[in-house]
Chains A and B, each alone.
Chain A
Amino acid sequence: MIRTRRTAATLTACVLALLAGTASATTPPSGSAGAGDALAGLPGCDPAALDGAGGPVEITVWSSMKADLLNKTMEDLTNQFNASQTQVKVNYVNQGGYEDTIPKFLDADQRSRPDVVQLPEYMVRSIVDLNTAVPVGACMTAASFDTSAFIPSALAQYRVEGVQWSLPFNVSDPVLLYNKKLFAKAGLDPNIPPTTLDDVVADSKKLVDSGAATYGIAIDSNFDNGGGWFLEQWLAKLGQFYTDGDNGRTARATKATFATPEMATLLTQFQQMVADKTAVYVGDNNSGADHLLAMADKDHPAAMAISTSASIGSVLTILKGGQFPHITPDDVGVAPMPGPGAKGTLVGGASLWINDSGDPAKVAAAWKYLEYMTQAQTQATWAATTGYVAVRTDAQALEPLKTALTDPRFTVAGQQLLDIPAAPTSAGPVVGPLLEVRTAVAEGVAKILTGADVAATLQEMQDQATELITDYNDRNTAG
């Protein structure tokens, strides 16, 4: 009996791993070669361990949702999980934002780390390198977990070398926000937003020349926005790798490869727009909202800005509040992120990780919590309340998300994740110092947007990124 279950589990593991292999690596066979035994040697997961625990298993969860609404919603869902069953009791602890959780989690002793932690997408490689996580793939295999309803690219974002490390929980991606009223005033069709960068350039010119808006588009160089994250998105749209090792997905990345001619063209386009004043450059955007405030500027408005989909909710709420009487919520249009290449975007946001406490019952309890937090009804409530994209498509048919999605502006971000082609470039880069790399990239973008030589600066950015990756690998690999 036990034996058959084992065999079945192994078989499922192979199938899953093969699927993972094919989904993440259609080109080189190296990805699937090690995938069959990808989970070998990693901490295991036995969901059945919960049954033998005798009484409720207590686990701690660290969340990283800083905004009140997000934190409260996640806590409510956790409380609902506690009330829904008797085997697991979760102690929910909010640590602030990502920047607060990361150092606390990294610096903590393994025994004082929580059983589940919510960490952003740029931390994947670092946490894998910590060697303390239980890959959720092990639980998925053991529990024969059905992932067919999940957005494939959302899962792929947290998969490295064939191992599913964590489960996406809050998902977002960049979208284009535009002012329909200004589009109409400029003689453009407010229902046909620009889809390519050439469209953005042309529409911006019309918007400015007609006097409808002072600027076509507002752009920034924040590392979490236009300065860093967006470049990864555009590269994925172009079907190009950010680093070697297929974005670090099939082998550890050792150097950055984003200084492509296409990237140079793209940056030149933006530089040109700032120079001829069809775009306004709002700087490093330290407040995180400067690009949106440029759209709200009464005297010198910009008609467009690219922003994370997670901001749509707040934008509409603020406009409803009447702080900017010259713009109504209905004036705001949401469109796919414009850019070169294919449709679709990479996944941003964060995922839930299981920490290896050494206690199988706690690992099983953590898995049960993850299952609950990613099930369709939970995600329907979560996405509808917060504006994040539900990690699975079957959540869209459930209330309250069903009603929320009747506003087409909230469907754009989810659709983009489904639109991205099934290619190895469609999973973003995993490198240990991704945040530092984004910072270095953002410095370069800021210089380019204020007139620096594109080719030379782009090369400099890539060299710096490679330097950061090399240094990280040097410190984090044995030998």
Chain B
Amino acid sequence: MRRRWRDVPAAAALLAPSAALLGVFVVYPLARAILLGTRKCNVSGRVCKTVGWHQYVTVWRSAPFQNALGNTLRFVAMTVPIGLVLGVGLAVLADKQLRGIGVFRTIFSSTIASSVAVASLIWLVLLNPQIGLLSHLLKDAFPVVKKPGLLNDGGTAMWGVAISSIWAGLGLTFVIVTAALQSVPRELYESAFVDGAGAWRRFTNVTLPMLSPTLLFVAVVMTARAFQTYGEIDLLTGGGPNSAGRPTETIAYLIYGKSSKIRNDIGIQSATAVLLFVLLLVVSFIQFRVLERRVHYAE
């Protein structure tokens, strides 16, 4: 018992650097954001009047936030399942001992090397109704890509953003799942094969269970990322098309976007950011709780 207390100074000294870093860069800004969320501030953000905690309720109920919340959920529902399925599918396809498979692995993982900005610019040009290659190729099958343009139509704009985002995120999912696949013992496949399991059976009964911890991790990370989507929106749609309201304005874009109407109101911005934080906390908690039951952690 006494021994334990003797360790306290050493422990404190060892923890101090990271505690200080966390305090300065995480705890303090978070506490300050929560506090700012209850205030109304001037343009410098330094002269503030206290409004009270009900500002959070006001923000939550406001039409722009509700719209952004709906858009964000829609975006998550579009990108996470498709991104996950594509990532796992490609990883399983490339998980073969074949000559030249390295070329495909490199191609499939290549988007990891491109930032959101680069990916968005590529898609912005591809989808441009006047000069875009995709718009040109798909104009007969999907007239919307030419008139008014995939990103200019209220109904399809979010899909345009989602395609860009899924593509950009694919590399990371592929790399992580590939790494996990390589740690699945080959004997399991062999014994399943001997038991007469076909390819699909081996996938559902061996691969998926063995991958499940990784899939949980990837799903949580992808969801968190999708909830915070900003760059794609900023470059591709700016929250528009405005002719259809603000169909692609996500919560993150509402907080900071160049065509957001709260961009110079730090009180409302902070309140919105804290609400997003709480939302993510709840979602991650649910994901862990619900999905964990189906996850098989190898001993």
CB of B275, distance to nearest CB on chain A (Å)? 19
Asked whether, in the complex, the Cβ of B43 is within 8 Å of the Cβ of A221, the reply is: no
B44 near A130: Cβ-Cβ < 8 Å: yes
Residues of B within 8 A of A443 (CB): 242, 245-246
Cβ < 8 Å to B, chain A residues 449-464:
449-450
**In this complex, what residue of B is CB-closest to A295?**
B130
Task: Contact check, B43 vs A130: say whether CB atoms are below 8 A apart.
Answer: yes
Interface string of B30-68 (1 = CB under 8 A from A): 000000000011111100010000000000000000000
Whether A230 sits at the interface, judged by CB under 8 Å, is: no
**Cβ of B243 under 8 Å from chain A:** yes
Q: Mark B202-240, 1 if CB is under 8 A from A, else 0.
A: 000000000000000000000000000000000111101
Q: Cβ of A286 and Cβ of B261 under 8 Å apart?
A: no
Is B260 part of the binding interface, using a Cβ–Cβ cutoff of 8 Å? yes
Asked if B237 and A286 sit within 8 Å, CB to CB, the answer is: yes
Contact call A432/B43, Cβ cutoff below 8 A: yes
CA gap between A286 and B149 in the complex, in Å: 12
CB neighbours (8 Å) of A194 from chain B are none
Number of A residues with CB within 8 Å of any CB on chain B: 39
Given contacts A286-B237, A443-B242, A443-B246, A436 and B43 within 8 Å (CB-CB): no
Report if A129-B43 is in contact (Cβ < 8 Å); known contacts: A223-B259, A284-B238, A442-B242: yes
Q: Is residue B171 contacting chain A, with contact meaning CB distance below 8 A?
A: no
Interface residues of A, dominant DSSP: helix
Separation of A287 and B130 alpha carbons in the complex (Å): 12
Complex contacts, A95 vs chain B, CB 8 Å? none
A-chain residues with CB within 8 Å of residue B44 when the two chains form the complex? 106-107, 130
- Residues from chain A with a CB closer than 8 A to the CB of B45 are 106-107
Complex CA gap A107/B240 in Å reads 27
Tell me how many residue pairs across A and B have CB atoms closer than 8 Å. Answer: 96
- In the complex, the chain B residue whose C-beta lies closest to that of A218 is B130
Q: Tell me whether A297 and B242 are in contact in the complex, defined as CB-CB below 8 angstroms, given that A106-B43, A126-B43, A468-B261 are known contacts.
A: no
Residues of B within 8 Å of A283, CB to CB, are: 148-149, 151-152, 240-241, 243
Residue A290, interface by CB 8 Å:
yes
Q: Are A474's CB and B40's CB within 8 A? A: yes
Interface contact B259-A293, CB-CB below 8 Å:
no
Instruction: List B contacts of A106 (CB < 8 A).
Output: 43-45, 264
Q: Is A475 an interface residue (CB 8 A)?
A: yes
Is the pair A475, B42 in contact by a Cβ cutoff of 8 Å?
yes
Any chain B CB within 8 A of the CB of A433? yes
Residue of B nearest to A440 (CB): B261
Which B residues touch A436, using CB under 8 A? 261-264
Instruction: For A131, give the chain B residue with the smallest CB separation.
Output: B44
Total count of chain B residues near the partner, CB < 8 A: 35
Name which residue of chain B comes closest to A439, CB basis.
B259
The 9 closest A-B pairs by CB, nearest first: A446-B242, A283-B152, A450-B243, A446-B243, A284-B240, A293-B130, A443-B242, A476-B42, A286-B238
> Which residues from B are CB-within-8-Å of A449?
243
Query: What is the CB-to-nearest-CB distance from A185 to chain B, in angstroms, rounded to a whole number?
Result: 20
Which B residues lie within 8 Å of A126 (CB)? Answer: 43, 264
CA distance A468 to B64 in the complex (A): 14
Asked whether A129 lies within 8 Å of B151 as measured between CB atoms, the reply is no
22 A–B pairs (Cβ distance < 8 Å), ordered by A: A106-B44, A126-B43, A129-B43, A130-B43, A221-B242, A227-B242, A283-B241, A283-B243, A286-B124, A286-B151, A286-B238, A293-B128, A297-B130, A432-B43, A436-B264, A439-B261, A442-B259, A443-B246, A445-B242, A472-B43, A475-B40, A476-B42
The answer, yes or no, to whether B278 is at the interface (CB within 8 Å) is no
CB pair A471 B265 closer than 8 Å: yes
* Residue contact B128 to A290, C-beta cutoff 8 Å: yes
Given contacts A227-B242, A286-B240, A446-B243, contact A281 B40 (CB under 8 A): no
**By the criterion CB–CB under 8 Å, are A284 and B40 in contact?**
no
CB contact between A296 and one of B42, B130, B259 (< 8 Å): that residue: B130
Given contacts A283-B149, A290-B130, 10 further A-B contacts (CB under 8 A): A227-B242, A286-B235, A286-B238, A287-B124, A293-B128, A297-B130, A436-B261, A442-B242, A450-B243, A475-B41
CB proximity of A92 to chain B, nearest CB, Å:
25
> For the complex, is B258 an interface residue (Cβ under 8 Å from A)?
yes
A293 CA to B131 CA, complexed, in Å: 7
Q: Give complex CA distance A446, B153 in Å.
A: 12
Give bound CA distance, A14 to B78, whole Å: 65
B45 to chain A, nearest CB (A): 6
The residues of A that contact B240 with a CB separation of less than 8 Å are 283-284, 286, 446
List residues of A (277-306) whose CB comes within 8 Å of B's CBs: 281-284, 286-287, 290, 293-294, 296-297
| Docked complex Cα distance between A447 and B244 (Å) | 7
Bound CA–CA A126/B265 (angstroms) = 12
Pick the contact of A287 from B43, B128, B260, B262 — CB < 8 Å? B128
Which residues of A sit under 8 angstroms from B261, Cβ to Cβ? Answer: 433, 436, 439-440, 468
Residue in chain A with minimal CB distance to B41: A475
Q: How far is the CA of A130 from the CA of B259 in the complex (A)?
A: 22
- Closest-CB distance, B131 to chain A (whole angstroms): 6
Chain B contacts for A475, CB-based, 8 A: 40-43, 49, 265, 267
Question: Which A residues are CB-close (under 8 A) to B241?
Answer: 283-284, 446
CB-CB under 8 A from A446, the residues of chain B are 240-243
Q: Mask for B162-200, Cβ within 8 A of A = 1, else 0?
A: 000000000000000000000000000000000000000
Whether A99 is near chain B, meaning CB under 8 Å from some CB there, is yes
Contacts of A130 in B (CB 8 A): 43-44
